[in-house]
Structure 1
Amino acid sequence: MLIRGRRYFAVLGFLLLATPLVWGMVLPDSPDLIHKEGRRLAPPPAAPADFAGWSKLPGEVDAYLKDRFGLRHAMINLHKDLTHPVLLKVNTAALIGRDGRMFYEGNEMVRQSAGLVLRDQRVAEAVDMIASMRDALARRGIRFLVAIPPNSSTVYQDDLPIWAQARGRKTEYDLFLQDLAARGVKTVDLRPAMNTIRAEGDEAYLLYDAHWTARGALAGFNAVVEADGHPDWRIDPATALGPPEERKGGDVARILGVQDDVTEKVETLALPPPGKDEAFSQDVMPDHVITTGKPGPTVMVIGDSFTASYFPLMLSQHVGRAIWVHHHQCGFDWKLIDRFRPDEVWWAPTERFLVCDPGVRPLDFAG
C-alpha cells in the first residue's frame, strides 16, 4: 500500500513538473510580458561548434527555458497574491523603497548600484571590447562615444534601505568609466545630470517603473550632445515637454502584480514628428531608422529601452538620419555599421547591462 502511494505521488510530481513545459509549448506567454519587465527574451541556444560552445550550452538552454515556461506570468502574480499579506516590501524581482518607489532587482541592479556586485573581470572584458570597437570605427572615420543611463537605484539611493546604499563603495559604473578613461575612450557620466533634476525638485525616473522620465531622458540627451561637441543640438525642456498626464502602473508594478493599483503624473515628450521612421528588425523593440530629409550627419545609437523611443526622436530634430539598434548584451550585428555608414556611434546600454553576457561580442566583428 505504501509503495502504491509513492507511485501516486511520483505521478503527481511528474505532472506538476511537466505542466509548465507543455503549457509553454502549446500556449506560451506573449513576448510583450518580458519586454514590459525592461529586458529581452533570451535567444534560442545556438548549435555548439566547439568545446566552448558546448560549455555554454547548459546556461543558454536554462535562460531560454526560464523565459518561456508555461504560466510564468500567472505564477508571478500568484506568488504576489500569496506573499503580499506577509511580505509587503519585497518581491523576488522587485523592491519597494521609501515613499513607495519601486526598484527592479533583476540583472543584479540594486546590488550593482550599491557596490555589492563588482565584477571587475567582466567590466574589463567589456572595456576591451568597447575599446576595440572604438578603434575599428576610427579606421572608418566614425566618431564614438559611451553614455550609460544609470539605474534608478543609482540615482535614488536614499529611497533604498541602508543595505542597498553604496555609502562610498566603488561601483561597476565607477570602475567602467575609470577603465574607459584609461583607454582613452570618450565617455559621459550621466549621473550628475540625473542628480541635477532631483535637486531641482523634478522626477528623473518613474515611481513604478525602472525607466527614466521624459525629463530624465532629455537631460541625458543634452548631457551627451554637450560632451559630444554638439551644444546646438540641446533641446529645451520648456518647449519639448508637454503637460503632465496620468500614467497607470509601470514595469516594476507589473512584476509585483499591482499595475492597476498605482498611478502617477508624468510629463510627455512633445517634439515634432521625426520624418520617415522605418523598422528593420522583427523584435518587440525593433531596430529602426529615422530619415528626416534634412542635411546633417547620421548618428547610430546602440542601446535599449531607455533610449529606443527617446534618443532617435531627439536626434531627428537636428540630423539627417537617426538610427537605433539594440545592444543584445554586446551581441548586436556589426554589419549594420557598414550598412548604414554612420558618422557617429553612441554606445548607450543601461547600467544594469554595462557588462556583456559571457563570451558575447558583436556578430561578425573582427576587431
Structure 2
Amino acid sequence: MAARRFPCICLTVVFLAMIAVVAVSQIALELRAGGPPQIAELFRQKPTRANLRRLESSLESGCRIGQMVRPWMQLARFVLLEDAGDNAILGRDGWFFYRPAVQYLIEPWSPEGGQTQGNVFDAIISFRDGLAKRGIQLLVMLAPNKASVYPEMLADRAGEHAGPINATTTDIVTRLKQAGVEIVDLFEVYDLAKRRAGSPACYLAQDSHWSPDGMRLAAEAVANRLVDLGWIEKRPTRYETRSARVERHGDVLRMMRVPQVERLFEPQRMDCTQVVDAETGQLYADDPNSPVLVLGDSFLRIFERDEPGSGGFVAHLASNLGFGLSSIVSDGGASTLVRQQLARRPALLRGKTVVVWEFVERDFRFGTEGWQRVPLPPE
C-alpha cells in the first residue's frame, strides 16, 4: 500500500512546490518593482464572487512567469492538439473560426439574463415602427456567421449546406418577414456565389469577417433591394474604384495572442478596391446630409476604417447608389449599442428616408447588451 502511495505523494509535493515557486517569485518581482503584492487585494475587499473572479483574472494576466511560459504552452497545445484557445477554432486547410459564432450554431440556446428570441423580435419591430413614424424605412441585413456559409471548412462531416443552419436564425427571420420587416437574404446570395465555379470565397480564411468579394456582393444586394423597393433612386455615379492589396493575419488568428502560432501561417492577401471621388480623387467619406443611414458592427469597419480605408461595405454601397451615405459603426455592438449611439446623435436622423441596419447572425444570442428597446431621440 505504502509503495503504491509513494508516487502519488511525490507528484502532489512537486505540484505544490511549483505553485509555491510561482507565487513566491511573483511576490518578489512585485516588491522589487516597488509596488505592493497583487495578492494583497484579497484582504482589501469583500470576498464576493465578482471580486474573486476579478482578482483571479488580474493575477493570471499579471503573472510574469505565466507571461513567459504561456505562449510556448499554447504553441505546444496548438501543434499537438490543434487547440486554438478560448476564442478560436481551427478548421480545415488553415481556416479559423470564431468560437462564439460556432457555439451559436451547435449549442442549444439557454437564455441568460432574460435574453430570449422574443427580445430580439420586439427590439427590431420597435425600431422599425419608431422609424416608420418619422417616415423612415428600415432594411435589415443579417451578416451570416462564417460557419453558416462554409460549414465544410469547419469539419469534414459538416458538408455543404444552403441557407441558415441554426433553427433560431430561421425562426427569427421568418417571424420578422411575417411582420413586414424587409430583410436582405445574404445566405442565398452567398450560396449562389459558392455554386459558381471558380468564384472567390465570400469569407476570409483566418478572419471572422467577409472577404472583399463577399462584402461587394452584400453591397450590390442591398443597393438592388433598395431600388427594387422603390425607396431609393440610383444617381449617376460620382465614384470610381482603384485596386489596393492588403496583407495581414486575420482577427481570429490574432485573438490567440500567440506570435509563435501566427508565424506558422502566412499573412492573408486580399485584393481590395477603394472607392474614390471621380472628380477630386479623394477617398470616399461619409455625407452627414445623406438620405441613407447605415448602422452596423465590425463587418462595416473592415476595409472601410481598417486597411486599405474607404474600401468597405459603406463605401461600396455608396458607389452602387451613386451618392454618399451616413454611418454609425460599433464593433460587436450592432444589436443595441449602435442604436444607443444613434439615440445620442439625433441630428443624424434629419433628412433620412432609409436606415440600413446590419448585424451578425451570432448577435441573436450573444449581442452586446442583449436586445434592448431603445427609444429614438425626440424630433
| From 236, 250, 268, the counterpart of 2:272 | 268
- Equivalent position of 1:215 in the other structure: 213
Does residue 322 in structure 1 map to residue 326 in structure 2? Answer: yes
TM-score (norm 2): 0.65
Give percent identity, aligned residues only.
Answer: 21
Change (3 A) 1:9 1:330: same
Does residue 304 in structure 1 map to residue 266 in structure 2? Answer: no
Deviation, structure 1 residue 187: 0.9
| From 150, 153, 158, the counterpart of 2:144 | 150
Deviation, structure 1 residue 58: 5.0
Does residue 346 in structure 1 map to residue 356 in structure 2? Answer: yes
Counterpart residue identity of residue 191, structure 2: N
Question: Is residue 300–residue 329 contact of structure 2 (8 Å, CA) maintained in 1?
Answer: no
**Aligned-residue RMSD, C-alpha:** 4.4
Change (3 A) 1:351 1:58: farther
Q: Distance in 2 between matches of 1:15 and 1:329?
A: 45
Long gaps (5+) in structure 1: 27-56, 278-288
Deviation, structure 1 residue 315: 3.8
Counterpart residue identity of residue 267, structure 1: D
Q: Distance in 2 between matches of 1:76 and 1:353?
A: 31
Long gaps (5+) in structure 2: 1-13, 36-48, 305-311
Q: Distance in 1 between matches of 2:104 and 2:16?
A: 46
Question: Is residue 103–residue 252 contact of structure 1 (8 Å, CA) maintained in 2?
Answer: yes
Question: Which moved further from structure 2: 174-183 or 208-217?
Answer: 174-183
- Equivalent position of 2:44 in the other structure: none
Q: Distance in 2 between matches of 1:83 and 1:7?
A: 23
- Equivalent position of 1:186 in the other structure: 182
Counterpart residue identity of residue 102, structure 2: V
Aligned counterparts, 1:27-42, within 5 A:
none
Change (3 A) 1:165 1:205: same
Counterpart residue identity of residue 177, structure 1: V
- Equivalent position of 1:225 in the other structure: 223
Deviation, structure 1 residue 321: 3.7
Deviation, structure 1 residue 88: 2.6
Deviation, structure 1 residue 300: 1.9
Counterpart residue identity of residue 183, structure 1: A
Instruction: Tell me how many residue pairs correspond in the alignment.
Output: 308
Look up the SS of the partner of 2:116 in the other structure. helix
Question: Is residue 96–residue 205 contact of structure 2 (8 Å, CA) maintained in 1?
Answer: yes
TM-score (norm 1): 0.67
Change (3 A) 1:234 1:145: farther
Look up the SS of the partner of 2:359 in the other structure. coil
